[in-house]
Amino acid sequence: MEMERKALYNTLRMHLPGFPQEGQQEWQTTNFRELSIEELFNQLQRFLPTLNKKVYITYGEMFDSPEELCECFIADGAFTPQEQDNIYLLVFEIWRKILTHKPCLSIFCDELDHQIHLYDEGSENGLVIQDLITQLQTMVETAKDSGEDPSKLMQAIESQCANHLESFIYDYIAEQVDEDQIDYAQELLDSFESILTDQKWFQFLRIRVLASFDYRQADVVLRDLIEVVTNERDLEFNLQVLEFLAGWGDPQLFVGLAIETFPLVETESDLQEVLTLCGNYYSRLDFDDKEKTIVSMLKDRQCIPFDTPVDKSDDLVKGLMEYLQNS
């Protein structure tokens, strides 16, 4: 999926700290949100000398998005591609600041990107991000009611976001489950689950919701899900499920999935994560001797760099699988 222009520059600014580096210009990683309207117009007037706030608003009322407005401004100018991008970023931010009564998809996606970035840093405003999620739900429901394919809407939004929207939605719903906001998590799953691409992650979240009030049925459904996805050999997914099973559910589900997971580990970091989950599992069952054995294994490996490749024929890996089988 091709990333739209604003999302591309958000990616540079958010995910590549330390810029500008060689070959980059300062404006390409500037956080224009931090600039005043006066400073934004000062920079824009280097390219469009006659453009002031009054003229901008007059033209802005004629268009539905900053992208359309920017195309109008640069149509008759001999601007280089980089100059066009610089102009676009300035036009976009001015629109966001002064044409607040004219929301559009790109403005929504930019705000969503901004709030996801704050969320990842742990400094988000919970009410703001919840409001954005509600807006997203409304957009999805409107698409459904209009007979449109809501998955296409999600693809359009993904293309205008620097962050991976589906991963954020998963993390956000998982956080609601962690905080026992079960009704809200259920509502979000009902809104988004069917239109997102990697279904197993959201099926797993629904199982976690189910476990909050019917753990026996959740056991059954989780067993079925594990059987279906085993052939996908998805280490990250297995680790998420193992983390859940280490504290809840049928012990044999944990053992079976852990044995399936060991052959998937690639690095020392992966191996130690599985070991830690095994230790948590034994702790939950009050198998103190087995837990101590795992803790000892981890202690012996604490000096190994996390990025060290794991030899899957290593006696330790084989021994661990046998150790689990004999649990």
Q: What is the pLDDT of residues 276-298, one digit of tens each?
A: 999 999 999 999 999 998 999 89
pTM, to two decimals:
0.85
Residue 135's closest CA among 103, 158, 102?
Answer: 103
Enter the tokens of residue 77.
Answer: 């100018």
Alpha carbon 34 to its chain's center: 24
**Please, is 22 exposed, middle or buried when counting C-beta atoms within 10 Å of its C-beta (0-12, 13-18, 19+)?**
exposed
- Backbone φ and ψ of 22, nearest 5°: -55, 130
Which pLDDT value is given to residue 1?
Answer: 42
In which residue ranges of the chain is pLDDT below 50? 1-2
Query: Mean pLDDT in the chain?
Result: 89
Which pLDDT value is given to residue 322?
Answer: 76
Which pLDDT value is given to residue 15?
Answer: 55
> Distance between CA 101 and CA 96 in Å, rounded?
9
Enter the tokens of residue 135.
Answer: 């807006």
Sequence-ordered list of residues with C-beta below 8 angstroms from that of 267, at least 6 positions apart, any chain? 306, 307, 308, 309, 310
Enter the tokens of residue 49.
Answer: 């000398």
Give the tens place of pLDDT for each residue, 103-152: 999 999 999 989 998 888 887 678 899 999 999 999 999 999 999 999 88
Which pLDDT value is given to residue 2?
Answer: 46
Which pLDDT value is given to residue 324?
Answer: 76
Inter-CA distances, 142 with 105, 172, 186, 243, 323, Å: 14, 22, 19, 37, 53
